[in-house]
Amino acid sequence: MSSDKPWAGRFTQATDPRVEAFTESVSFDARLAPYDIQGSIAHATMLGRCEILTRDEVDAIVSGLQAIDQQIAAGEFEWDTALEDVHMNIERRLTEQVGDVGKKLHTARSRNDQVATDLRLFMRDTIDQTGAALDQLADTLLELAEREADTIFPGHTHMQVAQPVSFGHHMLAWREMILRDADRFADCRRRTNRMPLGAAALAGTPHPIDRSITCELLGFDQVCENSLDAVSDRDFAIEYSAAASLLMVHLSRMCEELVLWTSAAFGLVELPDAFCTGSSIMPQKKNPDIAELVRGKSGRVIGSLQALLVLMKGQPLAYNRDNQEDKEPLFDTVDTVLACLRVFTPMVGALEVRADRALAAAGQGFATATDLADYLVMHGVPFRDAHAVVGRCVRRATDAGCDLAELPLEDLQAESAAIKPDVYAVLTVEGSVAARDHIGGTAPNQVRAAINRARNAS
C-alpha cells in the first residue's frame, strides 16, 4: 500500500520512520472505523444533495465505503500505520477501489471535524451501551431487594454495628447510586449528540453545504454552533469519564462491602463459586477476586479522567495534535466500565445472604440502643435526657456482659421510671427494623413499597 501523505505537496522530505511510528494512531483509533464510514456516507450524501458532487460520484463513494465496511468487519482490511490514522486508511482504500472520485470525499471537511464527529458517534453508542448495562444492574438489585426484603442485616457506621436494617433496603441503597449514575450518563448523551461536521479545520468551509442534512442523516439533535469550538471541544469525553469515575467509585464501595461481608470475620454473604477463584498454595481459599478487581479498576478509570483533564487544560483554540491523546484513556475507560458492569451484575444477582449469621450480627454492639432512646422520647423524655439514660443502660449491660434486651426490667427502670414492661418489644432487632415504617425507612413493607414504586415508574 502506498504511504504518500495527503500533505506531500508542501514537503520536500519523506517522513522519518521514527516520526511515523510516534505519530500514528491507527493502532488504537481503528475501532472508530464504523463511525468514520457512517459519517463519510452522510457527508457524501449531503454533498450530492447540495450538488457539490454528482449523483454518480455519490453512488460510487457510498458503494465503495460500504464495501470497505464489509472488509473491515470480515477482518480483510489491511491497516497501514504509515497512513497515520483510521481516516486516511479508509480514504486511501476508497480511492484504490473507486478511483479519483474517492479523492472528492474530503471536499468541505477536515480531519479535525471528521474525528470530532466520529468520536461523538462512538460516544453516543457507548453511552447507550453503558445505560443498558446500568439498567440491567438496577433491575438485578431490585430483584435481590425483593428476595431479601425480610432478611435482617447489620447496618454500620464507622464500620461499627449501628442499627439493624433489611438487606433488601441495603440493596436499594446500592440501586440509588446506580440510578444517579444512569442519570449522569443520560445527561452527558444530550451534550454529546451535537454534530461538528461542517466546521472543517476550524473556520467552516466556502462550499455551499447544508449541515442540517448531515445532522439529520446521522441522528444528531443539533449542529455545533461555533466552528472553532466544534473541532476543539472534548468536554463530552471528559463528562463521560467523570460519570464513569463516579460509577466506578460506587462499584468499588459495593465491592468493598462484598469483600468484607464474605470474609471469615464477617461471614454474612456467600458469593457464587463461578465468580471467585482459589489460591495456588492454600486449598481452603475462596477469594472474592472479581470484587477486588472491580475495586482496583476504579483507580484506572479515575486516572484516565485526570489524564483527559490535564490533556485539555492548556490547549488554545482550535484543534491541536494533543487531542490524539484523548482516545486511549477514553477507550480504556469505556472498555473497563462495560467489562466491570458485565461481570458485577450477574455476580451480585447470584449472591446468597447467610441470614442466621446476619441476624446474629445485627444484634451485636447494642444495635437497638437508639430504639430504647426513641421509646423514652415517646414516653415524654426529652431526647438528650433519653440519650444519657440509654448510655447508662448500655454501661450496665456492658458490665453485666449481656445485651440490652437481656437486662432485668428493674435495672432498666433504675435509670428511668419511664421504662415499662413493654420496652422489650422495641429491644429486638426485628422490632427495630419494623419500626422504621415510613418512606425511605428500612421496614420490610417499606422496602416492598419502594420496589413497587420503582416497577411502576419503569
Evaluate whether 43 touches 213 at the Cβ level (below 8 Å): no
Distance CA(41)–CA(173), nearest Å, equals: 46
Distance CA(102)–CA(97), nearest Å, equals: 8
Given 43, 63, 158, 166, which residue is catalytic?
A: 158
Find the helix or strand (DSSP H, E) in which 160 lies. Answer: strand 160-166
Long-range Cβ contacts of 84-87 (<8 Å, 24+ apart)? 84/20, 84/23, 84/24, 84/25, 84/26, 85/24, 85/25, 85/26, 85/29, 85/111, 85/115, 86/25, 86/26, 86/29, 86/30, 86/32, 86/33, 86/36, 86/118, 87/36, 87/111, 87/114, 87/115, 87/118
Q: Report CA torsion sign: 258, 439, 159, 154.
A: negative
Evaluate whether 33 touches 119 at the Cβ level (below 8 Å): no
Given 27, 207, 263, 279, which residue is catalytic?
A: 279
φ, ψ for residue 190 (rounded to 5)?
-60, -40
Provide the angle, in degrees to the nearest 10, between the axes of the packed helices 235-262 and 327-349: 30
Q: Which of 80, 169, 74 is nearest to 434 (CA)?
A: 169
Q: Is 279 a catalytic residue?
A: yes
Q: Is 87 a catalytic residue?
A: no
- The catalytic residues are 158, 279
